[in-house]
Structure 1
Amino acid sequence: MQKKYDLIIVGGGVLGTFHAYHALELGLKVALIEKDLQPQSATVRNFGQVVPSGMNTKWQNYGRKSLSYYNRIQSQFDITVRNNGSIYFASNPEELQLLEELAQINKKNGYSSELLTKETCINNYPGLQSSYVLAGLYFPEELSVEPRTMIHRLLEYLQKEKGLDYIPSTTILHCTTLSHHVELQSASERAFYAEKVIICSGAEFKTLYPQIFQSSDLEVTKLQMLQTYPQSNYKLKGSILTGLSIRRYEAFKECISYNNIKAQEEPSSLAKKWGIHILFKQAMDGSIIIGDSHQYADASHMDNLGFDLHDEIENFMIEEAKKIFALPNYKIQNRWFGIYSQCKNQDVFEQTIDNNIHIVTGIGGKGMTGSAGYAKENIDKIYNQN
């Protein structure tokens, strides 16, 4: 028999990798198996914003715990974490009202935030259009990472410093419960053995347990994003979230005015049609990432989303972005889409098979922010640490 692990995790995205981190912290012998050479899906196709402020109170707590884990790891190994805060810009009185209400919720929750005047926002964020902004809500504790780099650095850290066995380019086709362990069979007919297995498969629903996923409430979301060329002599700090984000993010649903304000929105707008809200984040090379849009399909029909990038979406996002920031240039060097899975009626998809096989996926857009905190709770639950 090959080497036997305490835990094997299938899926090397941010959710699976933070499960590995917390299991290693318990002293367990852990392997992480990834179907590709390196993670290629939602974990690397996003903004790299770690923003608990955008989540409801439950998930904000997970996100705040995630901040501490990111900072702890960064103090030991560079995983590209930057402590540069995030800000929401209100463009009209309704959005300002929501910011003021969220500030009070955060005060009650003990989460640091600061309302900024229009003048302060303009002074602190070069190129911000005075015709757009009324005020801002700033979160000084929030982080950003480089999404195409962070997960690779985190995996490197876990291998070098924590003893993780990382097994890439390996597709697991079967998990079988035996008398005292679980056997995993790969497409290359290699066998792996563990006491427990956690499957963090993201939006990969066709290989392991397809019947479970097809009958679930899981859906997939396709997000379209852009990246400019590096901006000469221009610095934009932190994560920038704008009026359309205020109207989308879960945190604002806890505001007393939210439902009334949402009811007044124009239902036929392109923002509604494509689920667009405008975000900005400057990458370390000086380029600006702009996005994003949201298209949805049930897990069983995810292929219907296709692989095309829509000019209509791109053009709308650029025109809206120009209303918010006068960047030195809006010349686009990269365009891409990401796909993540989420649940329609619950926070995350969890199912246990034969006691020792745990499926955990469908964390949606909460992954980069919430995974580290949520994974700690889940590992503790699986290993009776509570």
Structure 2
Amino acid sequence: MKNNFDLVVIGGGILGAFHAFHALNLGFKVALVEKDKAPQSATTRNFGQVVPSGMNTKWQAYGRESLKIYKEIQAKFDISIRNNGSVYLASNEEEVQLIEELHEINKGNDYSSSMLSKKECLEKYPGLRSDYVQAGLFFPDEVTVEPRVMIHRLLEFLEREKGLEIFRNQTVINCEKSGEKVLVHMALGSMLEASKVVICNGKDFKMLYPEIFAQSDLEVSKLQMLQTKPQENYQLPGSVLTGLSIRRYEAFYECPSFAEIKKKEAADSLEKKWGVHILFKQAMDGSVILGDSHQYADASDIDDLGYGLDMDIDDFMIQEAKKIIDLPTYEIAHRWYGMYAQCKNQDIFQKTIDENIHIVTGIGGKGMTGSAGFAHENVKQIFNK
């Protein structure tokens, strides 16, 4: 049968795409079903950085494997990967202590990083304010991507070079076991048959399995981001993460002094209220992307997060960004928000139904960095390889 596959992946975002990628590499016949003409949710609405350095030990391993996979694909097909490194900029003695501790942890992990003095930071990052930075921790192997471009090129690569069959503008309405197979029914009346099905469509899996969704611990995070107009005669290398990132990213939770430092923070600050940590990344057109904020609601209460942008949050992020880097212009060309599903009590949501239907979602902010590595291991488990 033309529509008989070893694997059908539901959801064309980064997590679904890399499940398809690894299954194709194992020689399986794979189809991917995307409800829209092209993916347009969390995968295309994030900051576009691949930073294993910000993850805990388990997910750093997935992230480091993801780096290798990204670079291997980029060598064959341009998916917008740029190997320009990431830096964490410390603004005070406590943050310097944390990046020094993370540096030592990564020595033990055999993951390359180097401490930068204040002078080295100022020389490497144009416009960086001397009254802000005290030191930096640089990770040379990390990359940036263009999220509005990358997933489309990745799917094109999988379709053209790997033989992936993509069914676009198709909404799956039911998956049912039929003997040793799974029948995947789509809203327009067509059907696919598969040995295995992987569902990677974020919070949208509630349409297929509302009871499982209702019983899950999924929550949704809403992130606001901004993009300046192109900067004239200005180049900012790589991803720039700052003191608020140092105080937020889970990698730093493993630092010996982290808990004591967190205790000293004001609980009623605006950065706590809005989950803000300041990031900078220059896009290919010369503009600089600024972010980001984090507001949370249970997945069932997603409407509580609203449909618009909170301009007070945007104004606060710009105000804080100006304390860190003097850009030629802070005139904003674009503002947007993204939403992603994550779990409250586990690092990713996984549920197997009828042996051959696997829900894999809720990867949260780890998606761009960890999906490629995680999917490699998960596909092997699904197919008992």
Q: Is the 8 Å Cα contact of residues 3 and 191 (structure 2) preserved in structure 1?
A: no
**Matched ranges for 1:291-302 at <5 A:** 291-302=291-302
CA offset at residue 213 of structure 1?
1.1
Deviations for 1:88-142, whole angstroms, at most 9, x for unmatched residues?
A: 0000111110000000000000000000000000000000000100000000000
Paired residue for 1:219? 219
Identity value in percent: 64
Paired residue for 2:192? 192
CA offset at residue 302 of structure 1?
1.3
RMSD: 0.8
SS at match of 1:350: strand
For structure 2, the 5+ residue unaligned runs are none
The separation in 2 between residues aligned to 1:79 and 1:150, in whole angstroms, is 5
Paired residue for 1:370? 370
The separation in 1 between residues aligned to 2:53 and 2:263, in whole angstroms, is 23
Deviations for 1:266-290, whole angstroms, at most 9, x for unmatched residues?
A: 1111000000000010000000010
The separation in 2 between residues aligned to 1:177 and 1:271, in whole angstroms, is 48
The separation in 2 between residues aligned to 1:367 and 1:324, in whole angstroms, is 27
Paired residue for 1:339? 339
The separation in 2 between residues aligned to 1:245 and 1:36, in whole angstroms, is 33
SS at match of 1:12: coil
Paired residue for 1:78? 78
Paired residue for 2:230? 230
The separation in 2 between residues aligned to 1:348 and 1:170, in whole angstroms, is 25
Deviations for 1:152-180, whole angstroms, at most 9, x for unmatched residues?
A: 00000000100000111111011001012
Q: Is the 8 Å Cα contact of residues 199 and 205 (structure 2) preserved in structure 1?
A: no
Paired residue for 2:319? 319
The separation in 2 between residues aligned to 1:166 and 1:101, in whole angstroms, is 46
SS at match of 1:342: strand
- Stretches of 4+ aligned residues off by more than 3 angstroms: none
What is the TM-score of this pair, normalised by structure 2?
A: 0.99
For structure 1, the 5+ residue unaligned runs are none
**Matched ranges for 1:9-88 at <5 A:** 9-88=9-88
Deviations for 1:206-245, whole angstroms, at most 9, x for unmatched residues?
A: 3111211111111110000000010001000100100000
SS at match of 2:226: strand
**Matched ranges for 1:202-281 at <5 A:** 202-281=202-281
Moved more, 347-356 or 297-306: 297-306
The separation in 2 between residues aligned to 1:224 and 1:131, in whole angstroms, is 27
Paired residue for 1:101? 101
The separation in 1 between residues aligned to 2:197 and 2:206, in whole angstroms, is 18
The separation in 2 between residues aligned to 1:204 and 1:301, in whole angstroms, is 13
CA offset at residue 317 of structure 1?
0.1
The separation in 1 between residues aligned to 2:124 and 2:314, in whole angstroms, is 27
SS at match of 1:235: coil
Amino acid at match of 1:20: A
Q: Is the 8 Å Cα contact of residues 2 and 193 (structure 1) preserved in structure 2?
A: no
Paired residue for 1:289? 289
Q: Is the 8 Å Cα contact of residues 2 and 191 (structure 1) preserved in structure 2?
A: no
The separation in 2 between residues aligned to 1:39 and 1:177, in whole angstroms, is 27
The separation in 1 between residues aligned to 2:45 and 2:370, in whole angstroms, is 16
Q: How many pairs are equivalent?
A: 385
CA offset at residue 2 of structure 1?
5.1
Deviations for 1:293-314, whole angstroms, at most 9, x for unmatched residues?
A: 0010111111211111001100
CA offset at residue 205 of structure 1?
4.1
